[in-house]
Amino acid sequence: MLRENVLNRTIELIGEQYLFPDIASKLIQCLRINIPAYLSLNTDEAFASAITRDMFDVAHDIHLTLTPRHPNDTERTPPLIADGRFLNHNIAIVTITRFPSVQNGRGVEAMHEISDAFMFVTEARGVIIDVRDNPGGDGSSVALATSYLVPPEPQLLARYHMRGNDTPGENWTWEKLPHEVNRPYRPLANKSVCVLVSKNTFSAAEEFAYNLQQMKRATIIGERTKGGAHPSKRHLIEDAFVLSLPF
């Protein structure tokens, strides 16, 4: 019964929210046809993996996944969001491990961690930003991190078109940063910047690197990135599985 409920809710959410309605219809058809095969699998991991594989075969969207929720998922202590340190020759490196929302309950904490990392390296001759193992996150902290590297005049970074909303969302650099009180202070805005990427750089981390490249603000160094362009939301289903769903 649990897995049937998970399948039904997954199908329902895809039909209501997946960003491409025509592909949503194909996804639903695929999932319904394969319900007996999914329900015959022995483990939750095999069940979720089979559904994820079939959804990818239809949509070719690596943001679209179903995974089991493990009880200790929320108990793990996450690494620092961002950390700055100096290398030789007065070159600094800022490692950004993820891009969390700065608009939710822990937004202030995220803001301060990102701010502290960049402000620690303001005296550097040049800055390396490492997002090689960054799985992405939210555009709000992408905009915040980018803002430390550009002048204070707001710049448009991205425009988002979402299903069911005719008005596109926009992501801009910040006119005023957390540490700025009386006047703008962007000592890194005229420093040389390079961004390290890898095959594990995903989603919002790819947006971060792409934005800086398109603004001609940074040199990008590394492997081809993973390839995820859609904003997505995580849905907890039956307190047992998590559906990552682009919208």
Sign, CA dihedral 100-105-109-112, equals positive
> What is the greatest pairwise CA distance in the chain?
64
pLDDT score of 240 more than 90: yes
Torsion of Cα atoms, 235 then 17 then 65 then 34, to 10° = 110
> Given the structure tokens 């430390």, which residue do they identify?
148
45-101 residue pLDDT tens: 999 999 999 999 999 999 999 999 987 655 567 789 999 999 999 999 999 999 999
What's the mean per-residue pLDDT of the chain? 94
Rounded percentage of the chain residues whose pLDDT exceeds 70: 98
pLDDT score of 148 more than 60: yes
pLDDT value for 166: 79
Torsion of Cα atoms, 30 then 34 then 38 then 40, to 10° = 180
